[in-house]
Amino acid sequence: METGQLATASFYERIGGGPALQLAVGEFYELVLADEELKGFFAETDLAQLKKHQAALLASVLGGPSAYAGRDMVDAHAGLGITERQFLLVRDYLLSVLWKLHVPVDIIDAVTSTVLSLKGSIVTA
């Protein structure tokens, strides 16, 4: 990519597009599912479908293809009783994966802002 293209590239393009997102989502769920406090939320979840939705949601947030067709955040998390601590654990796992994959700081900052903006739709306990 030429220098001029870098300035106009979306966050999605800058991180490597779909393959990079799939890698990040896979590593993210490895961490989440290894956490005793969080793994129970996913006991009866189709993980392949969840990962697909998560990658589509992140792609949309990062300026990539807007293919997310899942439920809104309120509906998706209704009745789960997610605490602020659990929400922050998930956020921290996501950010740790992004750091590990050397995602640029401006993109991590944008993801952090987006995640924190969803807290009121996810935390219900």
76-93 residue pLDDT tens: 787 788 999 999 999 999
pTM of whole model > 0.95?
no
Give, as one character, the DSSP assignment of residue 41.
G
- Residue 72 belongs to domain with CATH number: 1.10.490.10
53 labelled ligand-binding: yes
d(CA 125, CA 100): 31
d(CA 65, CA 54): 13
77 labelled ligand-binding: yes
Residue 79, domain extent: 3-122
d(CA 104, CA 17): 14
Question: Angle at Cα 17 formed by Cα 13 and Cα 21, nearest 5°?
Answer: 130
> What's the structural domain count of the chain?
1
User: Does 3 have pLDDT greater than 70?
Assistant: no
